Amino acid sequence: LRAPDFALDVDELRAAVTPATRVILLNSPHNPTGSVLSPAELTAIAAVAVEHDLVVISDEVYEHLTFDGLAHLPISTLPGMADRTVTIGSAGKTFSFTGWKVGWVTGSAELVATVRTTKQFLTFVSAGPFQYAVAEALALPESTYAELRDRLQFQRDLLCDGLAGLGFEVYRPQGTYFASTDVRPLGWEDGLDFCRELPGRCGVVAIPHQVFYDNVEVGRPLVRWAFCKQPAVLTEAVDRLAAGRLAR
Ligand SMILES: Cc1ncc(COP(=O)(O)O)c(C=O)c1O
């Protein structure tokens, strides 16, 4: 997914499939870009999966964190996908419990059994007591998710407006709790250099996109910021950035 629109290049996906391909690993809403794949993009991915008889491992941990009325569409609900999709969710994102490492996998009995067998030999089990807490949380009413979304959307706009005011080119995300900026308008070329400077100058931390990319060049000028923070913390961060004279 490339700036500025972070849309899926379906031709690139098709070209990447070889006779050895077994799986498509998908993530939407997407970290780090904040992009939410559209029904048309998901339909195109599903068509590739069906045509080549592939399993889709769909990481949907930000499924509830979409903004501006945009709905997340699980690819497992598209025709031909129910039996070939493994869908992953996480309490870490939905309930802001990063670090609890409790999530869930849904799919056909056969695919879920395969995941269970593998998990047995990796981490065996995620913290038992937390699982009971997450089971309670999953029974919360739909309004909980709506409140969470509204709060996050407010925080998104607070941070994005602040960053735009500092001169960054801001990519306002459709989902997740990450906003991305291009650092070049401030005279920087490389997001990694920029992120290394930030803590010392401002006491603020951001993540360079390039660490997520196979092709580092594509992500080089981009930086990811998190807005899963209290509004006062976001305001202070923007103030600190303003005081840090970030222009190079
Ligand atoms: C796309 C995506 N999938 C999975 C995870 C892992 O989630 P958890 O820490 O709740 O296991 C993350 C966390 O950053 C993520 O961004």
Pocket of ligand 1 (CB under 6 A): 27, 31, 59, 61, 90, 92-93, 98, 101, 103
Name the packing angle between helices 142-165 and 231-243 (round to 10°): 10
Instruction: Write the pLDDT tens digit of every residue in 209-218.
Output: 999 999 999 9
CA 55 to centroid of chain Cα atoms = 21
CA 133 to centroid of chain Cα atoms = 24
Of all atoms in ligand 1, which is nearest to the CA of residue 93?
10
Q: Please state the pTM of the whole predicted model.
A: 0.95
Average the pLDDT over 141-169 and give the result.
Answer: 97
Structure tokens at 110: 């056969």
Is residue 93 packed enough to be buried (19+ CB in 10 Å), middle (13-18) or exposed (0-12)? Answer: buried
Sign of the C-alpha dihedral computed for residues 18, 20, 25 and 26 taken in this order: positive
Distance CA 199, CA 202 (A): 5
Instruction: Write the pLDDT tens digit of every residue in 93-131.
Output: 998 888 999 999 999 999 999 999 999 999 888 889 999
CB of 228 within 8 A of CB of 155? Answer: yes
Q: Whose CA is nearest to atom 14 of ligand 1?
A: 31
Amino acid code (one letter) for 159: L
Distance 245 CA to ligand 1 centre (A): 33
- Residue 143's pLDDT is 96
- Residue 2's pLDDT is 85
- Residue 126's pLDDT is 87
- Residue 21's pLDDT is 98
- For residue 1, pLDDT over 90 is answered with no
- Residue 97's pLDDT is 87
Instruction: Write the pLDDT tens digit of every residue in 22-66.
Output: 999 999 999 999 999 999 999 999 999 999 999 999 999 999 999
Ligand 1 pocket test target in 57, 61, 212 with most atoms within 8 Å of CB: 61
CA angle 181, 182, 188 (to 5 degrees): 130
| Average predicted confidence (pLDDT) for the chain | 96
